[in-house]
């Protein structure tokens, strides 16, 4: 028997799969027939082609691979594609650093990562490969942008935006973490710029409500999305500055506290601030404060532990419910981009207003009684008043706060002083980027009268121009391609200039899962009927880092495409699974931390099969896990033992069909467990343990001639069941055991009769404590089971002649005797 040489076996089978198109899956012919119904779309988040596979990829794609293999062998038509999220900053930064074109760098990286993926042996349908940086792909990204534009869902506006001074480009809100750029960590700055946005806020409620349509998503992801959307219900109330004839609406979630408003605050960026103070004695101080605020960094400004600051405007606003005149302040604890950029301040019932009032002196007026037992100190901050009774609130005094909320909003509405309103934390998606390596935004600016003019569909794609310099200078590098920028207006034929910003790469990845269904289509981004066949994705797998960004954007895109009639479903991903992160030496594996284990080294040393097995065996797939350098020895040894046993079994020839025996029954039980764990429980570590266990048993039985047939059956079953995890070795052994192609073999099914046992281990408890176990025949009555239990000497010792007050019998499992 030759030694197990993973490299040789793996190279051999990878070549066979390629030659025989093993994992190619054809679309069904249209129209879809009922016999095509058993489909499954298994998708992993597409990689950014950095050129180097890391362990996170290995886990992600091995998970998808196991699901894919099992479903294929269970008779499903399985779509399992692969592609590259190929636009983006790393390639561009590499081009700046090392020279060369981002396109060439990306192509080189794609070639390298594809090679590594093939070395892992993943069962990908390579005929559907997609790169988002390919003009045949981004043509349709641009096409979709134009459809959004037509529907008013893409728009351009001047706004205060988040600017990364390092990457020299704007960022979406979702790309700012704790005031820093999520890519490079630089502190973001605020900048007023004209930019392109997607109107995702119009879908805030749909994104929340349609979570109900999802089959199975992790609770934490849903929570993160809910937090991000940040819906809160309340009311808009109109305060008025009489002397200037200005209405200042505010958003509040506590209209029941309107009578407690003792001052009013505007955000420093509020557009009406200048008008309020112009020509007054407060002008200088207010302008000074506004300038001071603008100079503060974003990180500093959002720190809630900062002492409150603010300045008086000298103006007074009228409280709509009682006509009271309250002073108007400007303070930076009020944010321009939430609500209306202005608030009514109720210091008795809002912590922030309370802190401000304590420092600057406005009165603190309790209008909702504290809950019973809480101190009712004069002028104190009163927490937890939801549901309590209103005091000093005019006609609403005495109502409980929930009714008061309704009553006050109704009163406001009837008097045209307010209305019910909903606030969201979610902002529109800023999609333009001042960088080179992305899809150009397909519009031109007419220099005559036409304004913003979309590039006609037939002129797509708008190809990226060639430029010499990718260095970001605060404007898009595309602007340097003057010949490209200068164009004619599609509408009037006059002179026009092209938009030079490119799209956020998250636009590219918001629809790629549809392109896979129809990757060669030249007429449309994809065929509607075939997309409706394959989607929604049955199982999506990827990292938690995309919980908000990609997953929220893709859901938004799908809803819009559904409304456009491009697809007939509202949610793209029915089931989502997030794999955990991989740590080593207590930190997330990262080049910068020097704790990376390169998959390539693992493959060279132990083989792809052992690496695949270990990454799934080491811990539950959804948990963060610590990489143990010696851990892979276990799966490597397991494969070597399987190799030896299978060879011994093969050499002995055919022993006929096995008789009933414990080993045969355990084998059937293992089939059951492995299938159930993978398909129902989505658990991947325990099947490996079950296979190791079965191998141990088979090995112990192998020298018993009476069990030759059972050992062969067990061994062949292990080979068959391990195929999704270790496909190369499984094929090799399957062949050596005298069979053909294992990937074409149907998935084993347990014989129900063999899952039935004729004896079982009865656990006997006394007062809930295990005292003994005994092997008994199945099918005994409760009385018989109790009789067997009470016969046992150890049990008798604990019964100690006492009276049995109660007996619990769980058939097939245990007897619990309660004595008193």
Partner RNA sequence: GCCGGGGUGGCGGAACGGUAGACGCGGAGGACUUAAAAUCCUCUUGGCGAGAGUCAGUGUGGGUUCGAAUCCCACCCCCGGCACCA
Binders in 778-807 for RNA, by CB under 7 A: 794, 797-798, 806
Query: Which segment (28-36, 198-206, 633-641, 704-712) binds RNA by CB under 7 A?
Result: 633-641
| Contact window for RNA (CB under 7 A) among 16-24, 284-292, 529-537, 625-633 | 625-633
Report the nearest approach of RNA to the CB of residue 697 (Å): 9
- Selected range binding RNA among 43-51, 446-454, 457-465, 682-690, rule: CB under 7 A: 682-690
| Three-state DSSP class for residue 327 | strand
Q: Of 160 and 797, which CB lies nearer to RNA in the complex structure?
A: 797
- State the binding string over 253-292 for RNA (x if CB under 7 A, else -): xx------------x-------------------------
Q: Is 30 in the site for RNA (CB under 7 A)?
A: no
Dist. CA 116–CA 632, nearest whole Å: 19
Q: Does 251 bind RNA (CB under 7 A)?
A: yes
Place of tokens 């009385």: 783
Q: Which of residues 705-734 bind RNA (CB under 7 A)?
A: none
Nearer to RNA, 291 or 700 (CB): 700
Q: What CA–CA distance (Å, rounded) separates 90 from 98?
A: 12
- Asked if 703 touches RNA (CB under 7 A), the answer is no
Binds RNA (CB under 7 A): choice among 242, 448, 623, 659: 623
Among 297, 306, 415, 778, binds RNA (CB under 7 A): 306
Q: What is the dihedral of CA 313, 315, 317, 323, to 10 degrees?
A: 140
Among 160, 770, 787, 804, binds RNA (CB under 7 A): 770
- Contact between 220 and RNA by CB under 7 A: the answer reads yes
Binding flag, residue 544, RNA (CB under 7 A): yes
Reference 664, options 727, 754, 556; nearest CA is 754
Does residue 335 interact with RNA by CB under 7 A? yes
Cis upstream peptide for 391 (omega within 30°): no
704 part of the interface to RNA, by CB under 7 A: no
Shortest Å, Cβ 344 to RNA:
7
Q: How far is the CB of 291 from RNA (least distance, A)?
A: 17
Contacts 24+ apart (CB under 8 A), 362-367: 362/262, 362/263, 362/326, 362/327, 363/262, 364/262, 365/259, 365/260, 365/262, 365/392, 366/260, 366/391, 366/392, 367/256, 367/257, 367/259, 367/260, 367/391, 367/392, 367/393
Distance in angstroms (rounded) separating the CA atoms of residues 50 and 84: 10
Q: Is residue 455 within 8 Å of residue 443, measured between CB atoms?
A: yes
CB 291 within 8 A of CB 252: no
Q: How far is the CB of 570 from RNA (least distance, A)?
A: 23
Among 765, 785, 786, 788, binds RNA (CB under 7 A): 765
Residue of 18, 4, 6, 45 whose CA lies nearest to 115 = 18
Judged by CB under 7 A, the stretch of 157-165, 342-350, 560-568, 713-721 that binds RNA is: 342-350
Q: Which of 674, 692, 729, 737 binds RNA (CB under 7 A)?
A: 692
Query: According to CB under 7 A, which one of 681, 741, 757, 802 is a site residue for RNA?
Result: 681
**Interacting stretch for RNA, rule CB under 7 A, among 60-68, 516-524, 632-640, 749-757?**
632-640
- Contact with RNA (CB under 7 A): which of 67, 200, 321, 619? 619
Q: Does 112 bind RNA (CB under 7 A)?
A: no
H helix intervals, 333-481: 351-360, 401-414
Element of type H or E holding 196: strand 189-198
Rule CB under 7 A: is residue 223 a binding residue for RNA?
yes
767 contributes a contact to RNA by CB under 7 A: yes
Question: In the complex with RNA, which residue's Cβ is closer, 208 or 564?
Answer: 208
| Residues paired with residue 233 on neighbouring β-strands, in sequence order | 422
CB of 691 to RNA, least distance (A): 8
Among 475, 637, 652, 802, binds RNA (CB under 7 A): 637
Site for RNA in 646-665 (CB under 7 A): none
Residue selected from 51, 100, 631, 658 as contacting RNA according to rule CB under 7 A: 631
Rounded distance, CA 160 to CA 172, Å? 12
Q: Is the alpha carbon torsion for 73, 74, 76, 79 positive or negative?
A: negative
Window 200-219: residues binding RNA (CB under 7 A): 219
Task: Select from 32, 763, 776, 792 the one that contacts RNA (CB under 7 A).
Answer: 763
Q: Which residue among 686, 735, 739, 780 contacts RNA (CB under 7 A)?
A: 686
The three-state DSSP-derived secondary structure of 245-281 is CEEEEEEECCHHHHHHCCEEEECCCCCCHHHHHCCCC
Q: How many CB atoms lie within 10 A of CB 14?
A: 18
Tokens representing 516? 């896979």
A 10 A CB-CB count for 818 gives 15
Q: Is 783 helix (H, G, I), strand (E, B) or coil?
A: helix
| Of 135-143, 283-291, 487-495, 681-689: span binding RNA (CB under 7 A) | 681-689
Give the whole-angstrom CA distance, residue 147 versus residue 773: 70
Based on the shown chain and the rule CB under 7 A, indicate whether residue 814 belongs to the binding site for RNA: yes
Looking at the Cβ atoms of 483 and 775, the one nearer to RNA is 775
* Tokens at 350, concatenated: 């809002």
- Which residues within the stretch 430-449 sit at the binding site for RNA (CB under 7 A)? none
> Do 481 and 466 form a contact (C-beta atoms < 8 A)?
yes
Distance CA 187, CA 176 (A): 9
Give the total of residues touching RNA (CB under 7 A). 90
For 288, the 3-state DSSP assignment is helix
Minimum gap (Å) between residue 178 Cβ and RNA: 7
Instruction: Kindly state whether residue 425 participates in binding RNA, applying the rule CB under 7 A.
Output: yes
Q: Under the criterion CB under 7 A, does residue 332 sit at the interface with RNA?
A: yes
Rule CB under 7 A: say whether 355 interacts with RNA. yes
């Amino acid at each position: 028997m030759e030694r197990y040489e993973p490299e040789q076996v793996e190279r051999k089978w990878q070549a066979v799969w390629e030659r025989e198109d093993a994992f190619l899956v054809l679309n069904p012919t249209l129209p879809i027939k009922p016999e095509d119904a058993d489909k499954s779309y298994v998708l992993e988040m597409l990689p950014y082609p950095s050129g180097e596979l890391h362990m996170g990829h290995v886990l992600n794609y091995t998970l998808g691979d196991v699901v894919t293999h099992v479903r294929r062998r269970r008779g499903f038509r399985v779509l399992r594609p692969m592609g590259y999220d190929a636009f983006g900053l790393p390639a561009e930064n590499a081009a700046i650093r090392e020279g060369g074109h981002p396109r060439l760098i990306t192509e080189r990286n794609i070639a390298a990562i594809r090679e590594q993926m093939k070395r892992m042996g993943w069962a990908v349908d390579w005929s559907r490969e997609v790169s988002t940086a390919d003009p045949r792909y981004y043509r349709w990204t641009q096409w979709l942008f134009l459809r959004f534009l037509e529907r008013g869902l893409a728009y351009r506006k001047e706004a205060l935006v988040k600017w990364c001074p390092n990457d020299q480009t704007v960022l979406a809100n979702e790309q700012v973490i704790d005031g820093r750029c999520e890519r490079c960590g630089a502190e973001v700055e605020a900048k007023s710029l004209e930019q392109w946005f997607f109107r995702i806020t119009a879908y805030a409620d749909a994104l929340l409500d349609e979570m109900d349509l999802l089959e199975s998503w992790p609770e934490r992801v849903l929570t993160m999305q809910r937090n991000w959307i940040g819906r809160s219900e309340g009311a808009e109330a109109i305060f008025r500055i009489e002397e200037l004839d200005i209405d200042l609406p505010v958003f509040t979630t506590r209209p029941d506290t309107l009578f407690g408003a003792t001052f009013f605050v505007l955000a420093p960026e509020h557009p009406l601030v200048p008008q309020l103070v112009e020509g007054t004695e407060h002008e200088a101080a207010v302008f000074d404060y506004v300038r001071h605020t603008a100079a503060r960094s974003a990180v500093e400004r959002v720190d809630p532990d900062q002492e409150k600051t603010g300045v008086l405007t000298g103006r007074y606003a009228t409280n709509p419910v009682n006509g009271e005149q309250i002073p108007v302040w400007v303070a930076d604890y009020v944010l321009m981009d939430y609500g209306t950029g202005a608030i009514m301040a109720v210091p008795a019932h809002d912590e922030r207003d309370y802190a401000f009032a304590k420092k600057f002196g406005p009165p603190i007026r309790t209008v909702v009684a504290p809950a019973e037992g809480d101190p009712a100190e004069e002028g104190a901050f009163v927490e937890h008043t939801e549901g309590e009774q209103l005091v000093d609130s005019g006609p609403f005094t005495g109502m409980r706060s929930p009714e008061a909320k309704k009553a006050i909003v109704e009163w406001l509405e009837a008097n045209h002083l307010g209305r019910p309103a909903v606030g969201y934390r979610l902002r529109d998606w800023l999609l333009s980027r001042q960088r080179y390596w992305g899809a150009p935004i397909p519009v031109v600016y007419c220099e005559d009268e036409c304004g913003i003019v979309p590039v006609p569909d037939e002129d797509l794609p708008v190809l990226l121009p060639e430029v010499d310099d990718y260095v970001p200078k605060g404007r898009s590098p595309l602007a340097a391609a003057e010949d490209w920028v200068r164009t004619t207006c599609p509408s009037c034929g006059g002179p026009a200039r092209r938009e030079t910003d490119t799209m956020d790469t998250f636009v590219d990845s918001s629809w790629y899962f549809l392109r896979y269904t129809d990757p060669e289509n030249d007429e449309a981004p994809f065929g509607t009927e075939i997309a409706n066949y394959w989607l929604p994705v049955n199982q999506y797998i990827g990292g938690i880092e995309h919980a908000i960004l990609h997953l929220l954007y893709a859901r938004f895109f799908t809803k819009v495409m559904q409304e456009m009639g491009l697809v007939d479903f509202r949610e793209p991903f029915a089931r989502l699974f997030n794999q955990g992160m991989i740590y080593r030496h207590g930190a997330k594996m990262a080049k910068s931390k020097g704790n990376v284990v390169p998959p390539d080294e693992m493959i060279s040393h132990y083989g792809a099969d052992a690496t695949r097995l270990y990454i799934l065996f080491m811990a539950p797939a959804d948990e963060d896990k610590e990489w143990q350098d010696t851990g892979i020895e276990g799966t490597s040894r397991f494969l070597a033992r399987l190799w030896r046993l299978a060879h011994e079994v093969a050499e002995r020839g055919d022993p006929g069909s096995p008789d009933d025996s414990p080993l045969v029954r355990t084998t059937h039980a293992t089939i059951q467990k492995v299938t159930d764990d993978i398909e129902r429980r989505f658990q991947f570590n325990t099947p490996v343990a079950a296979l190791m266990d079965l191998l141990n048993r088979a090995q112990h039985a192998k020298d018993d001639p009476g069990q030759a047939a059972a050992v062969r059956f067990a061994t062949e079953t292990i080979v068959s069941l391990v195929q999704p995890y270790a496909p190369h070795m499984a094929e090799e052994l399957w062949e050596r055991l005298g069979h053909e192609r294992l990937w074409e073999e149907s998935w084993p099914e347990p014989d129900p009769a063999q899952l039935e046992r004729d004896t079982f281990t009865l656990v006997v408890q006394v007062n809930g404590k295990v005292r003994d176990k005994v092997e008994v025949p199945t099918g005994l009555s409760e009385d018989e089971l109790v009789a067997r239990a009470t016969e046992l000497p150890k049990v008798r010792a604990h019964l100690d002649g006492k009276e049995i007050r109660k007996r619990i019998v769980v058939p097939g499992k245990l007897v619990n005797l309660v004595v008193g």
